[in-house]
Structure 1
Amino acid sequence: MKSSAATAPPSKYGTGKEALLRAAVSVVARKGLRGLTYRSVAEAAGVNNTLVAHHFGTRDALIAAALGWATEQSISASRLREAAALGHSFTETLLDELLAEPELQVFQYEMILEARRRPELSEAVTALYESYVDALAAGLGAAGLTTNVRVVARTLFAALDGLVLQYLAGVDRSAIAASLDEVHDVLLLRIGPGTRP
């Protein structure tokens, strides 16, 4: 008798290790962290579950790798490093690109909540937040901000983080867009004159 993984259709997540990470993110976004097993990831990716174990060794290693991967994908898609210089496209860029793959965001929120119950995840979650702050700080510095760059970046990310969570919870897109426009206007005031598009 063939296993379901052996007869599964080709993965919608691609191939290799990245496919397993995408599948892990998808599983957690749908079922929560408690639903993450080698079997569930293998079924989602269309591979044998021994491949998951081979690549990651432990479930915690899979979780840490998936969190790092999801964070980098989200930062890259949202263009946070360029956010301060996006001008009028700031709001639409964030809404269209950051939220194009809501599973990435849901996965990260699941991990943040799980870190409250499992302190061993707190270091990975701290790294997640610091990655976002680093990306925004780089963008703010490139846009001309020279004082309190990390403080401003952390504050900006807190606003963006909250708005993304609200969007995922069902708040109307136009309300989120209006708030993002306001965040951008405040950011431009902080950076200084001559930055308004």
Structure 2
Amino acid sequence: MGSRKAPAEVKRALQRAAVEVVAREGIRGLTYRSAAHAAGVTTGAVQHHFSSIDDLLRSSLDWVLEESAENGLLGARAGIFAAGSDVRKRFAESSDIQIFQYRLVVESARREELRPTVRRLYESYFGGVAKDLASVGAPSMEGLVSLVYYALDGMFLHQVADPEADPGAALDALRALLGAAGAAGGT
């Protein structure tokens, strides 16, 4: 028997490879050839599974969202309810995923056809934050989910620029503000 991979394995390898290539070289660095090389397959395999580079990007985002959900990277638990050192560790373990997402967001400002993909990304994260905040009894106030998400998103973006940055004090302050808002809402 040969060591041929099943089609689903090849597709998954190509999704991971696309994330790696985009994180390392940017969206414009993602080609059939670069994805094939990173995945260890032929360019024909890329063309077989994906009709275009944008199709590969969208599919890779699907993989990213699955991975993020499985690894607790969606929602507030990855940030606000974690210690600063845990955030740095999670970022280090998922830096390609984080960088891929930021590059996709930036590229969508230039390419309107990517905006629905990015909207889906944000919907997933906002939904995760809303669920996590509700699970800890955070106050229900308009804009709170957005505020917490924006704080967490900024924290992860800062980790891209400086993986050694310690968000611990900011997370403590955010938790204290949420606690105070919850106490004020209950009076």
- Which bracket does the TM-score occupy, shorter chain normalised? 0.7 to 0.9
Sequence identity (%): 36
Query: Which residue of the partner structure matches residue 152 of structure 1?
Result: 144
Flag the 1:59–1:79 CA change in 2: closer, same or farther, 3 A.
closer
Q: Name 1:181's counterpart in structure 2.
A: 172
SS in 2 for 1:173: coil
Q: Is the 8 A contact 2:88 2:159 kept in 1?
A: no
Q: How does 1:16-165 map to 2 (within 5 A)?
A: 16-81=10-75, 83=77, 89-145=82-138, 147-148=140-141, 151-165=143-157
Q: Which amino acid aligns with 2:178?
A: L
Separation in 1, partners of 2:108, 2:183: 38
Q: TM-score under structure 2 normalisation?
A: 0.82
- Do 2:75 and 2:126's aligned partners in 1 also have CA atoms closer than 8 Å? no
Note if 1:169 corresponds to 2:161.
yes
Give distance in 1, aligned partners of 2:163 and 2:45. 39
Equivalent position of 2:3 in the other structure: none
- Runs of at least 5 residues in structure 2 that lack an aligned partner in the other structure: 1-7
Whole-angstrom CA distance in 2 between matches of 1:80 and 1:187: 19
Cα offset, 1:90, TM superposition: 4.2
Q: 1:122 & 1:131 partners in 2: Cα distance?
A: 14
Cα deviation code 1:74-97 (max 9, x no counterpart): 34424544629x85x443433322
Offset of residue 160 of structure 1: 0.8
> What stretches of structure 1 of length at least 5 have no aligned partner?
1-13
Between the aligned partners of 2:66 and 2:145, the Cα distance in structure 1 is 17
CA gap of 1:144–1:52, structure 2 versus 1, over 3 A, is: same
CA distance in 2, matches of 1:35, 1:184: 40
Q: Which residue of 2 aligns with 1:4?
A: none
Query: What CA RMSD, in Å, does the superposition of the two structures yield over aligned residues?
Result: 2.8
Task: Describe the shift of the 1:147–1:116 C-alpha distance in structure 2 as closer, same or farther (beyond 3 A).
Answer: same
- Partners of 1:113 and 1:81 in 2: how far apart? 21
How many residues are aligned here?
179
Tell me if the contact between 1:78 and 1:97 (Cα under 8 Å) persists in the aligned partners. Answer: no
Residue 5 of structure 2 corresponds to: none
Quick one: which amino acid aligns to residue 190 of structure 1? A
2:74–2:124 CA contact under 8 A, matched in 1: no
TM-score normalised by length of structure 1: 0.79
Alpha-carbon contact 1:91-1:177 (below 8 Å) kept: yes
Change (3 A) 1:172 1:98: closer
Contact 1:39 1:49 in 2 (8 A): yes
